[in-house]
Amino acid sequence: MASPYLIHYKPRSRRREQIEAKDHWTSVTPDYLTKEFSKASDAAHAYDHVAAGERPTFHEIRALGAWLYEQQKFPQEYIQALLGHADEKMTRHYQEGHDEKKIEYVEVGAELAF
């Protein structure tokens, strides 16, 4: 199927509201990859041991990948191109928040009766 988009699909049906909401009838909606990743992950039973609301999302795994490339000293331009970002600011946004967090201990009373 020919499409002007690298990532595209053939919808099962072509409803007018869907066609009018997109640039091209084969283009994907903004949440398409997120939903399809979730379906594939569930079908693979990859995270059955993790509560549904705590499972990693497409964007979380993608962001972790960007950070791992950065840790391996890949050029920022390469990572930006890999992610398909138009500007470096968005790539930096994806790479934030993956550094090791300092563990903070809190003393609490056990309040056990012996």
CA distance 67 to 80: 11
CB burial string 45-62: b at 16+ within 10 A, e below: eeeeeeeeeeeeebeeeb
Q: 89 and 48 share a domain?
A: yes
Is residue 75, in this structure, part of any structural domain at all? yes
Same domain, yes or no: 35 and 88: yes
Are residues 63 and 46 part of one domain? yes
Q: With 80 as the cut, is the pLDDT of residue 54 above it?
A: yes
Give the tens place of pLDDT for each residue, 60-75. 999 999 999 999 999 9
Question: Do 7 and 60 lie in a common domain?
Answer: no
Q: What is the span of the domain harbouring residue 25?
A: 1-30
The residue to which tokens 């699909």 are assigned:
9
Based on the domain organization, do 57 and 39 belong to the same domain? yes
Q: Give the pair of three-digit tokens for residue 8.
A: 């595209």
| Residues 91 and 55 reside in one and the same domain | yes
pLDDT in tens, 11-42: 887 788 777 778 888 888 888 889 999 999 99
Strand partners, 11: none
